[in-house]
Structure 1
Amino acid sequence: MSTVYNFNAGPAALPKAALEAAQKELLNFNNTGMSVMELSHRSKDYDAVHQQTKQLLKKLLSIPDTYDILFLQGGASLQFAMLPYNLLPQNKVGQYVLTGSWSEKALKEATLIGETNVLASTKDSNYSTIPDLKDAPFTDNDAYVHITSNNTIYGTQWKQFPSISHAPLVADMSSDILSKKIDVNQFGMIYAGAQKNLGPSGVTVVIVKKELVQQAQVEHVPTMLRYGTFADHDSLYNTPPTFGIYLLGKVLEWAESIGGLEKLEQVNEEKAKILYDTIDSSDGFYKGHAHPSSRSSMNVTFTLPNEELSKSFLSLAKERGFVGLNGHRSIGGCRASIYNAVPIEACMALRDLMNEFKSNN
């Protein structure tokens, strides 16, 4: 197929420049005569990749020296358990804000490990909004407050993060990390699966305050589930996902080359506006799932007047080279995931397709 518009929710589109750079070096990295996939993770050649990737992430996100940057495996799903194992002692409560399926899963895992509480939830509106925590029932026993910064299935996103001082704010940023400027100092910990904005599937990035790692009560926690294990060994306690980290570095190089977070945020807002303006000007033919105040700039979710039209639209989109527009099975409809590497031209093409389909139906 000559032209493909990749709107997959994850694994998702990767920058062409990053893929071409990896292709160029694939068989002979740094004149070693080997692929980076074949290098020992203890070698000087790989260590240079490892350190450069950390430094690029630190620079782009303005991560202070008071935080550890860890490269793990297991996706955000493993963090759902690893977080409470490390930061939820017996005499404390893990507070969870429910804004979608992934926050529900995070809560479910934590409940198996320690005491939890639902601080706020928008489930009664089918997760179409982000809750206001102004009057949330915080307690002195809060171990942390957990949020999901962007909700891929429902298409909602935190526009402003809650200001919390009594406990660490922890965020699953799997689907919007690196998409806009954030103040890392607001958070005790950030974690993210790489497969949406950072790189290929298989790498999980954890950014965590060093003091939280040091204070963790992990005497009875398995070694591989301790943040300290990876902090103490620079994420090299065991064999890390070396190729994934390498490609993550290539994506970060691309992000820096185009202007960093400021440029990425600008372009992401432009892409989202193209699609939301199309929905809003369709006289109800397309209906967005998320309330306008909570709309995601990463995942645009919408429905058509009926299931038959939805199927026809998705069938036409597939014929025209659009990939990944099916909505999640739990809510149906359509979803355009417009992560960093999705070009603005793809959003323009989708806009044109949506307008054409409306005109013909």
Structure 2
Amino acid sequence: MQREGNKNMKESKFKFNIDVKTYMMIIALVAIWIIFTVITGGSFLTARNISNLFRQSVFTSMLAIGMVMVIILGEIDLSVGSIVGLTGGIIAIFDVWLDMEPVLAILITLAVGILLGLWNGWWVAYKKVPSFIVTLGGMLIFRGILIGITKGTTIGPMSGLFRYLGKDYLPDYVGIILGILGAIFIIFNQYKTRKDKLKYDFEILPLKLEIVKTIFFVLLIVLFVLIMNSYHGIPVPLVLLLILMIIFIYITRNTVFGRHIYAIGGNKEAAQLSGINITKITLLVFMLNGLMASIGGILLTSRLNAASVAAGQNAELDAIAACVIGGASLMGGIGSVGGAIIGAIVMASLDNGMSLLNVPMFWQSIVKGLVLITAVWVDISSKKKGKVV
């Protein structure tokens, strides 16, 4: 009886404490889509354009997954664009010049990405060199190596597997199966999360709102699959992104390693005093960031069907912008994988919509820069208001 009373109190209390900021970027994304749909006369929300939009966002999202962990840690990585270019060049050399088995080539390239992340992490974690300087140097070093090993030439075309990874679509029936699995996962996850919160006396949504929320997410999955299947199907790169997103959301939310990342970014001194191995965590985060950059390099090379010395230039800026727009704080301790991906989709939406309107490139850069500054300003302003209150 007492437990039920506590449950009702927590539910009623939650009604007055809904955090609007959590949903702010989703609201902003929907607003952007509505605006572009109206301006383009409905062209923006066609199945073909939505499919292209998500394909465009995959690359930045891949980098943002790794980058957001670095930012939560309180560090920065300016070398991911060069890691993308270098690993993309390596996979092209293996495939085109050496005719290596594709799976083996992918595994070696992923290992190279991890080693490049290890290089950055070693300097930051063990030698205490600021990550800004280490990764700025890495950006120059890795780009130089790329130019050297490729002799400044474009390498292509790629073999069949890579074209499949970069450009192909899943059959409609596979998309339906994945949609069903996704809906089951959402329902199970919502149920388990609610059960765990009740177990530890955390605040929960009223049951009716919880059901509405679950139905909303299931309907989103159904709508997404229908839209994708009405064009060519779900893009293969998007499926890879969704798998990695689930994995890293679990890592950051439900593992000791993930909690340690937040603890270090929130207060490094307190984390050290509590016994957290800051050196080890920092090294691992940079290695994971290198891994994600190498996956991004493989997918970019596969999508372009060739590797070039210019591949990945300024990609680190897009990744950082996606994380910040998605709610990550450059001071560390705040951010999420889901938010970073939403930030990447926001940026891709701006690029896509302005391209449909034939907006000059310089205006696209100006708009994205203004959006980034505004996102940081809103974050800082909300924190100041919180302190005043």
Pairwise same-fold verdict (TM > 0.5): no
| Superposition TM-score, scaled by structure 2 size | 0.27
More strand by share: 1
| Superposition TM-score, scaled by structure 1 size | 0.28
More helix by share: 2
1 or 2 for the larger relative contact order (CA 8 Å, sep ≥6)? 2
